Amino acid sequence: MHSMAIKINVSREDQEAINRLLQEAGFPFQKRKFHCTIGFIEKMIPKEDLTSFGSKITELLQEYIDPLLPLYEVEKVEHLFGHVIAFSPTPKSLTSLKELNAWLFDKVQEVSSHRWGLNDETVPQNYTPHFTLWRMRRVDTRFKNLEELVAKAHPAYHLIQAAYVVF
């Protein structure tokens, strides 16, 4: 059984803006796609269903977000789970992200015919969608620099492309 993260990538312009911000804080340029993970299905999806389910759920998610034009407004930078540097959303963004997560919770069950669902950490009652920037076990001066830059600017990024990643 496989796991799947369901995410929304930021625009190309915002990818570049995030890299500039990270570089200003002392981090090297990254080629990865910055995104907000809005749900995670853990070790439930059979290999033969991965592509069809992933394609269907991202197609429906894209249709859902297109008219919304979701914006991830950054409140602060956090060190999460002991190994991730992430943006945390403002209360306004958190409300819309939690609505996306609740929609996804229902849609995953519907599309899978109730065979699987979001893991406990990413169900609507428990989850604060975050925006992963960097993997780092111990924070250093770059983290502090990034905290200061975000506190001054409170940037916002457009979430435009539904996607999934299989683990």
Q: Please state the pTM of the whole predicted model.
A: 0.92
The helix/strand/coil state of 9 is: strand
Q: Please compute the mean of the pLDDT values over residues 77-97 and round it to a whole number.
A: 93
Q: How many domains does the chain fold into? A: 1
- Over residues 55-86, the pLDDT tens digits come to 999 999 999 999 999 999 999 999 988 888 99
Question: What pLDDT shows up at residue 130?
Answer: 85
Domain CATH number, residue 149:
3.90.1140.10
The answer to whether 159 and 68 are in contact (CB under 8 A) is no
Domain that holds residue 119: 2-166
Question: What pLDDT shows up at residue 32?
Answer: 81
Q: How far apart are CA 57 and CA 103, in angstroms?
A: 11
- Cβ burial 135-151 (10 Å sphere, 16+ → b, else e): eeeeeeebbebbbeebe
The answer to whether 107 and 57 are in contact (CB under 8 A) is yes
Whether pLDDT at 136 is above 90: no
